[in-house]
Amino acid sequence: MSVITKDIQSKTSAQEVLELLKEGNQRFVNQDPKSRDSQEQVNLTSTGQFPLAVVISCIDSRVPTEMVFDQGVGDIFCVRVAGNVINQDVLGSVEFACKVAGVKLIVVMGHTSCGAVKGACNNVELGNLTGLLEKIKPAISIVSNRGVAADDSRFVDEVALENVQLSLDTILHDSPVIKEMVDNKEVLCAKGMYSVQTGEVELNLL
């Protein structure tokens, strides 16, 4: 099938979804994407959608989620917000994706050289961005407490990775709906890091 059907969605495990995303990223890196008829996919999905995963990632223009995983129309939900932080609206979106639309895998994906993380590290203050960057500050504290110096070349990327973990923790803590589904093995969670240098995603189950 050129699109995900309800039958395919129901029969595909979260582990299989993870492997599909990994395979898609490998195609992206190898510059060998699947051949798709986008108009056919638009037509076939016009009456319903049955995505396999929901991916929460950064708004960074270098990280186009569907392209990175070589996915087509109707294949995955994408939630994008600077620094892939979690708020009530993101939680509601994830709850819809999982409880209503039937996805099997939640992915939070950070990336290298993240501007939001750099902004948080530099204590940037700018309108509503100030509050957003505050959500990244706990990751900075954790990385600092591990002994990584702020001027270390690894610092920003270490904070970005820790921020992914904290975002997943927040989802499970602040959404009883998702927590119950995860506890019942209906949904699995994964953490991802995208390299803006290579196009590769390191993706692992939580």
Two tokens, residue 202 = 């390191």
pLDDT surpasses 80 at 195: yes
Please give the pLDDT value at position 70: 98
Place of tokens 């950064």: 58
Specify whether the CB–CB gap between 195 and 112 falls below 8 A: yes
Q: Residue with structure tokens 């600077």? A: 82
On the question of pLDDT at 120 being above 80, the answer is yes
* Confidence at residue 194, expressed as pLDDT on a 0 to 100 scale: 98
Quick: pLDDT tens for 80-92: 999 999 999 999 9
Percent of residues, the chain, with pLDDT higher than 90: 96
> What is the C-alpha to C-alpha distance for residues 171 and 90, in angstroms, rounded to an integer?
9
Q: pTM of this prediction?
A: 0.95
pLDDT over threshold 80, residue 151: yes
The per-residue pLDDT for 1 is: 61
Percent of the chain with pLDDT over 70: 100
Is the pLDDT at 2 greater than 90? The verdict is no
List, for residues 34-74, the tens digit of each pLDDT value. Answer: 999 999 999 999 999 999 999 999 999 999 999 999 999 99
Separation of alpha carbons 156 and 123, rounded Å:
13
Mean pLDDT of the chain: 97
